[in-house]
Amino acid sequence: MSILIDSNTRLVVQGITGREGLFHSRQMLEYGTHVVAGTRPGKGGEWVLDGKVPVFDSVQIAVDVTGANTSVIFVPARFAADAMLEAADSGVNLIVCLTEGIPVQDMMRVRNYLDQREVRLVGPNCPGLLTPGESKVGIIPGNIAIPGNIGVVSRSGTLTYEVLYALKEKNMGASTCVGIGGDPINGTNFIDVLAMFEDDPKTDTIVMIGEIGGTDEEKAAEYISKHITKPVYSFIAGATAPPGKRMGHAGAIVEGSEGTAQEKVKALRAAGVAVANHPEEIPDMILGD
């Protein structure tokens, strides 16, 4: 079992003819993802990836012709908002946006529109999703994880990879890994994914990777205490970050006492979450329980 993506996912890649889009489309296709179409205005009628994937001028045409149900976006920040709006209008039910540097005002407009359309967005500024053995949408390396019963949700791309590989080294697998991204305004948050993992019968354990900045982890801790029955393990990055400094992600900034690693760890432990000091400790913590 999995959440969000599986063997039935039919993917359209927006920006497939660009360097990043083409490279990662090949990786997704080789992993086994059903990459059924790509888009690039003015390139409609072409084929890419050794003639395996058709290119269309718009997402709407790609969906109508191929039955795509998921979009992944590899376009520059100045075009990304319009790309998300175009995908939302096409009929796909899931949009994954990897683009970083999208202005907050653009994301406010996009989020409002997507909420009205009831279309789920993962990202922006995220590594995407991976359901080991079935499908990958985004840039998470497929060889660092094996199928299993551990659901992983993370704000940090690099730490996502580290945790998945650490689990694999202990012969522990993931049901689905969701990289939600670290921007201040995104489409899917910790609570959304926690709820999906709670309802997934094949996910027995949840790993949540957070970082400094904002209050998402504190909100997740409150939700966990009230609604999650499965064991949750966590790691919070940025414990040594100086106040007022932005560390990597746009949302990873500490103001005063709000958003510190210490406050997040305190809230999570109060909710019964086991919090690791280092991400590579998580597999042993799970095995120890």
Active-site annotation, residues:
249
β pairing state of 232-237 and 94-97 = unpaired
Query: In terms of C-beta density within 10 A (0-12 exposed, 13-18 middle, 19 or more buried), how is residue 191 classed?
Result: middle
Name the β-bridge partners of 15. none
> Which residues have CB under 8 Å from 207's CB, separation 6+?
150, 151, 152, 153, 163, 167, 232, 233, 234, 282, 286
Distance CA 264, CA 259 (A): 7
Query: In terms of C-beta density within 10 A (0-12 exposed, 13-18 middle, 19 or more buried), how is residue 37 classed?
Result: buried
Distance CA 216, CA 264 (A): 9
DSSP symbol at 91: T
Query: In terms of C-beta density within 10 A (0-12 exposed, 13-18 middle, 19 or more buried), how is residue 149 classed?
Result: middle
Strand order in the sheet with 47-48: 47-48, 53-56, 34-39, 10-14, 70-73, 94-97, 120-122
Name the β-bridge partners of 143. none
Of 75, 57, 80, 64, nearest to 10 by C-alpha is 64
Of 109, 154, 149, 116, nearest to 133 by C-alpha is 149
DSSP symbol at 1: -
